[in-house]
Amino acid sequence: MQDHKEASPVNPLPPVVVILFLAMALPEAAFSLGAKGLLGGAEAVGWRLSAVQTYAFSGDIFDWMVSNGRWLPEHLLRFLTYSFVHTSFTSTLFAIVFLLALGKLVGEVMGQAAVLVLFFGSAIFGALIYGLLLNDQTWLVGGFPAVYGLIGGYSFVMWQSLGAKGEQQLRAFTLIAMLMGLQLIWGVFFDVGNGWVADLAGFTFGFGASAALVPGGIARVLAAMRRD
């Protein structure tokens, strides 16, 4: 009698997605518990602010490095570390939801290395565009530019799939259009800042980089451009 292993109804998350999840969730857990006085004593109330000042991306610091030609490692690291510091529990939660959903999809379709390239590449590119185009003294924090890169990867996969089926490829951009629209509507009622610039830059990097990460992706993009 042969033993039969039942297939799991839930596909496990790629390990790199789990690691990125923990890198976002653990600091937030410490900040939230510390703010409630459940961890770290009285000093823990200031942990989030201290982390922002230490790890968030600063346009002012970036401008100083450009002006002086001094590229200090502790400030260059901010291009990566800002993705793991958020201003609130809610912001962290939304970033994590996108990371888990889209990181899983990208990981299964493109591989785990692609997840890392899209996540960190989009974080770097988003911060770079934020620093170059804006003169904003507000700290850039949170994982949204990075996860928007994963949205870019998802959109490229959709764009490629729709093209193969002969369907309207603009549908691949439904998610990013909806998210940008929500940010625009939200900005009418609240001061949401200029973080959307980094988010959109992250998406652009993610979509463009996916053409190189998916076998035959660049050829399909060139073919589509020739048809247009």
- With beta carbons less than 8 A apart as the criterion, state whether 141 and 192 touch: no
Task: Say what the pLDDT of residue 225 is.
Answer: 62
Confidence of residue 50 (pLDDT cuts 50, 70, 90): very high
By mean pLDDT, which of 10-24, 68-82, 119-133, 197-211 is the weakest? 10-24
Task: Say what the pLDDT of residue 28 is.
Answer: 97
Within the chain, residue ranges assigned H as helices are: 15-35, 47-55, 59-68, 73-76, 78-81, 89-110, 112-133, 144-164, 174-189, 195-213, 217-227
pTM of the model: 0.89
Average pLDDT for residues 63-76, to the nearest whole number? 96
Does residue 2 register a pLDDT over 50?
A: no
Average pLDDT for residues 73-82, to the nearest whole number? 97
Confidence of residue 3 (pLDDT cuts 50, 70, 90): very low
- The whole-angstrom separation of Cα 147 and Cα 150 is 5
Task: Say what the pLDDT of residue 222 is.
Answer: 65
Average pLDDT for residues 193-210, to the nearest whole number? 94
Does residue 224 register a pLDDT over 70?
A: no
- By the 10 Å C-beta count (0-12 exposed, 13-18 middle, 19+ buried), 45 is classed as middle
Confidence of residue 10 (pLDDT cuts 50, 70, 90): low
Does residue 215 register a pLDDT over 80?
A: no
Query: Bridge partners of 12?
Result: none
Q: Which of 147, 142, 154 is nearest to 195 (CA)?
A: 142
55 vs 165, which has greater pLDDT? 55
Task: Say what the pLDDT of residue 161 is.
Answer: 85
